[in-house]
Amino acid sequence: MASPLDALKLRISEVYTSVQGESTFAGRPCVFVRTTGCPLRCVWCDTEHAFTGGDDRSVQGVLDQVLSEAVEVVEITGGEPLVQKNVLPLMAALADAGRTVLLETSGAYDIATVDPRVHVIMDLKCPDSGESERNLYSNIEHLDERDEVKFVIASRRDYEFARETIKEHRLDQRCEVLISTVFDTVDRRSVVEWILADRLNVRFQLQLHKFIWPPDAQGV
């Protein structure tokens, strides 16, 4: 019998299994569903290949492929997944199937309708990204302890922006807060020293996959 999800379509850039490189799930095997399309143009973006292209697929087809991998953790990423409304039923179906579902989102789109079982990883943009004006701060009210906020740092200015945003919105009292660096752009040791000097209640992270494979590798 046909599933209602057969009629729902998504533009998909790639689906692959790898090791989770970021977040509190770093190091865990993970199936990545990368959607096509993103209206943001962060100057340091490392997934420009997902801006265009890809294939139109049914939500049921994507669901079947992911479940066939028999991997507990699934991340919906992009691009910007929330550009496509049909990621919402996909995430709900994955949660129904018992998967741990992560959503990597820019924070520029409303997360209010995301299934509450999904772990939202919201990337609040810092000034050097060129897209910090797109941050939708009303999203913060929808975060809870299962969610994470990430700041990608390219400079001291970015770090200070992250520090003040964390304090202003009391992010560390709401959810896990992550700080990472644009790969080979700002000195990682310096960022750690700034965090320690300010006694920030955050988790410093590296992009693990970029130390395992070449930094520009796709599908890893």
Mean pLDDT in order along the chain per 10 residues (220 residues): 89 96 94 95 87 94 96 96 98 98 96 98 96 96 97 97 98 97 91 98 88 71
Measured in whole angstroms, how far is the alpha carbon of residue 185 from the centre of its chain?
20
CA distance 89 to 101: 12
Work out how many domains the chain is built from and give that number.
Answer: 1
3-state helix, strand, coil in the chain (%, to 5): 35, 25, 45
Would you say residue 80 lies in a domain?
yes
Q: What is the pLDDT of residue 103?
A: 98
Q: Give me the half-sphere count of Cα atoms (radius 13 Å) on the Cβ side of residue 100.
A: 12
Would you say residue 41 lies in a domain?
yes
Contact status, residue 103 vs residue 84, Cβ threshold 8 Å: no
Q: What is the pLDDT of residue 1?
A: 66
Would you say residue 218 lies in a domain?
no
Q: What is the pLDDT of residue 44?
A: 86
R_g over Cα of the chain: 17
Q: 87 is in which domain, residue-wise? A: 4-212
Would you say residue 217 lies in a domain?
no
Q: What is the pLDDT of residue 209?
A: 74
Tokens 């959607």 appear where?
A: 35
Would you say residue 108 lies in a domain?
yes
Would you say residue 219 lies in a domain?
no
Q: What is the pLDDT of residue 2?
A: 74
Would you say residue 40 lies in a domain?
yes
Residues 6+ apart with CB under 8 A from 161: 126, 127, 132, 151
Would you say residue 67 lies in a domain?
yes
Written as six digits, the tokens of 217 are: 């590798």
What CATH number is given to the structural domain containing 92?
3.20.20.70
